[in-house]
């Protein structure tokens, strides 16, 4: 028998095993009482409203939705603290990929939360970190991409910051970046300059020089490739040697669910590399949402990209890169990166999606997408003046309502919330209503129920 540390013996202690069994039983007993969409409990309404008001005041502004969770749910359903139950089809903007109160996710979190510390970080990490790093790098190299390293961090935008810093350091003194029109990358002082939305950088000093090229247009396959490449070439002539990186989302999320194309991205990557410009792929929203674990694998860009940033679904955030972009000591570090609970949940979720029937042409992600898209397609045929679409890919599903009218689309999301389902808006001209589907929990019955709510709500908007 091999020698065990005290820590290993502690985690295998029969009392902990028994305690975890009790947690799991209690969870099941309570969670199973959640059976479907439900209105608020009148007796909880008043205390809920005062809590909302106080929370809004303390936050310095009202929440988008009157949403405060009670701490339990079942699959795609979540209970709010006022006793109401709703379908969660936006998942905290794409984080709760396995829905609410998933027994195995909670078991993984418990394993992580009974260890010695709350947070793990750069200086001190537990045995769960090396395991997660190996899983993610092995998966990123599924088709021999050749990634060597990963740096874990605390948010999607910090993964972007770290990739940008590494690219700038390698390409010093280059100081410009390129991005796609309508992109979203986050909101730090530097990354807010890249995100293509003026209100997100209103009042901020200019910290970065960013130039934009148009995203792929499926209606003009060849034309949009030629146009983007010629714009890139023109930039490289105008500012020779000044560009360090091209930042790209492969499916534009916040921008309105625009899906790119392999040929387009390959042409962009090749042009950038010809001019010694690094390519950063932002998969904070797309990770685990196509029928490959990474969207760069879906678009067959394994050898074409230099950095991949992940977040949201992965529960932890990270920058994945090769040896040739390795930063010099001191450039990237962070006191704490994530909690033991999140690191353990990340391992469970990523391993499950990578190895348990989610990926591939016949995997769950494609099946659920098809089911949702078929329902929306029927609705758009029934109400051609009100609903267009569906748009998106995999776990990202969207539709255009009322010809993309912003106010009506926003009103729709509030009404849909009232009726029992969370969604959100994306993009401008047209505005789209979007869903980030909880793949690890959702069933075809849930999709059918949500589509009934969509139909009811569309007909309630004037
Ligand atoms: C594509 C993309 N990149 C980066 C971010 C920023 O991630 P975070 O909010 O975790 O910093 C987001 C967040 O929505 C995103 O959608």
List pLDDT tens digits, range 159-180: 999 999 999 999 999 999 999 9
Would you give the DSSP letter of residue 281? E
Q: What is the pLDDT of residue 4?
A: 92
Mutate to test the pocket of ligand 1, among 158, 159, 179, 184 (most ligand atoms within 8 A of CB): 184
Q: What rounded mean pLDDT belongs to the chain?
A: 97
Query: 312 C-alpha to center of ligand 1: Å?
Result: 8
Q: What is the pLDDT of residues 328-360, one digit of tens each?
A: 999 999 999 999 999 999 999 999 999 999 999
Query: Ligand 1 — pocket residues by CB below 6 A?
Result: 93, 155-157, 160, 184-186, 249, 253-254, 282, 284-285, 311
**How many beta carbons lie within 10 A of that of residue 256, not counting itself?**
22
Query: 238 C-alpha to center of ligand 1: Å?
Result: 30
CATH of domain 113-355: 3.40.640.10
Per-residue buried b or exposed e for 8-42, using 16+ beta carbons within 10 Å of the residue's own CB: eeeeeeeeeeeeeeeeeeebeeebeebeebeebee
Q: What is the pLDDT of residues 12-31, one digit of tens each?
A: 999 999 999 999 999 999 99
Angle between helical axes of 364-382 and 444-460 (0-180°, round to 10): 30
Query: 426 C-alpha to center of ligand 1: Å?
Result: 13
Give mean pLDDT, residues 221-247: 98
Does the pLDDT at position 1 exceed 80? no
Mutate to test the pocket of ligand 1, among 93, 179, 280, 312 (most ligand atoms within 8 A of CB): 312
Give mean pLDDT, residues 145-149: 98
* Alpha-carbon torsion (95, 100, 101, 102), positive or negative: negative
Counting every residue written for the chain, the total comes to 462
Does the pLDDT at position 462 exceed 90? no
Residue ranges per domain, the chain? 42-94+361-460, 113-355
Query: Ligand 1: which residue has its CA nearest to atom 8?
Result: 156
Rounded Cα distance, 59 and 55, in Å: 6
Position in ligand 1 atom list of the atom nearest CA 286: 1
Q: How far, CA to CA in Å, does 315 sit from each of 94, 191, 279, 288, 342?
A: 10, 21, 24, 12, 6
Q: What is the pLDDT of residue 191?
A: 98
Give mean pLDDT, residues 49-58: 96
Position in ligand 1 atom list of the atom nearest CA 155: 10
Q: What is the pLDDT of residue 97?
A: 98
Give mean pLDDT, residues 112-118: 97
Q: What is the pLDDT of residues 188-212, one digit of tens each?
A: 999 999 999 999 999 999 999 999 9
Give mean pLDDT, residues 392-409: 97
Q: What's the topology of domain 42-94+361-460?
A: 3.90.1150
Rounded Cα distance, 80 and 420, in Å: 11
Give mean pLDDT, residues 43-70: 95
Q: What is the pLDDT of residues 281-324, one digit of tens each?
A: 999 999 999 999 999 999 999 999 999 999 999 999 999 999 99
Mutate to test the pocket of ligand 1, among 95, 156, 200, 424 (most ligand atoms within 8 A of CB): 156
pTM as predicted: 0.97
Sorted by sequence, the CB contacts under 8 Å of residue 92 that are 6+ apart come out as none
Query: 254 C-alpha to center of ligand 1: Å?
Result: 9
The label of the residue with tokens 């479907």 reads 36
């Amino acid at each position: 028998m091999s020698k065990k540390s005290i820590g290993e013996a502690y985690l295998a202690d029969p009392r902990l095993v028994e305690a975890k069994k009790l947690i799991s039983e209690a969870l099941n007993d309570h969670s199973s009482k959640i059976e479907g969409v439900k209105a608020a409990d009148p007796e909880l309404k008043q205390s809920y409203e005062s809590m909302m008001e106080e929370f809004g005041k303390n936050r310095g502004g009202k929440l988008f939705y009157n949403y405060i969770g009670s701490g339990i749910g079942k699959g795609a359903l979540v209970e709010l603290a006022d006793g109401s139950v709703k379908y969660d089809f936006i998942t905290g903007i794409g984080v709760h990929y396995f829905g609410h109160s998933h027994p195995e996710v909670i078991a993984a979190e418990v394993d992580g939360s009974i260890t010695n510390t709350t947070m793990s970080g750069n200086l001190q990490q537990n045995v769960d970190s090396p395991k997660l790093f190996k899983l993610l790098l092995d998966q990123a190299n599924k088709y021999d991409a050749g990634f060597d390293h990963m740096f874990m961090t605390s948010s999607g935008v910090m993964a972007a910051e770290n990739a940008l810093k590494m690219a700038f350091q390698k390409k010093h003194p280059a100081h410009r970046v390129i991005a796609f029109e309508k992109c979203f990358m986050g909101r730090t002082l530097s990354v807010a300059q890249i995100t293509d939305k003026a209100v997100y950088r209103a009042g901020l000093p200019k910290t970065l020089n960013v130039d934009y090229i148009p995203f792929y247009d499926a209606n003009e396959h060849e034309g949009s490739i030629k146009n983007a490449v010629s714009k890139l070439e023109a930039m490289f002539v105008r500012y020779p040697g000044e560009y360090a990186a091209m930042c790209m989302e492969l499916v534009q999320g916040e921008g309105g669910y625009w899906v790119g194309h392999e040929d387009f991205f390959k042409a962009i990557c090749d042009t950038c590399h010809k001019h010694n410009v690094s390519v950063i792929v932002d998969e904070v929203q797309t990770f685990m949402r196509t029928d490959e674990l990474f969207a760069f694998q879906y678009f067959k860009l394994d050898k074409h990209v230099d950095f991949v940033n992940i977040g949201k679904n992965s529960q932890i955030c990270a920058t994945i890169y090769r040896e040739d972009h390795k930063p010099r000591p001191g450039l990237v570090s962070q006191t704490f990166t994530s909690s033991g609970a999140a690191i353990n949940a990340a391992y469970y979720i990523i391993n499950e999606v990578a190895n348990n029937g989610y990926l591939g042409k016949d995997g769950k992600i494609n099946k659920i997408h098809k089911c949702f898209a078929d329902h929306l397609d029927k609705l758009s045929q029934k109400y051609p003046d009100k609903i267009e679409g569906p748009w998106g890919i995999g776990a990202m599903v969207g539709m255009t309502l009322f010809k993309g009218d912003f106010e009506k689309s926003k009103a729709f999301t509030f009404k849909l919330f009232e009726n029992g389902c969370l969604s959100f808006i994306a993009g401008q001209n047209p505005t789209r209503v979007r869903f980030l589907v909880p793949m690890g929990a959702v069933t075809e019955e849930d999709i059918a129920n949500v589509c009934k709510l969509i139909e009811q709500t569309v007909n309630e908007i004037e």
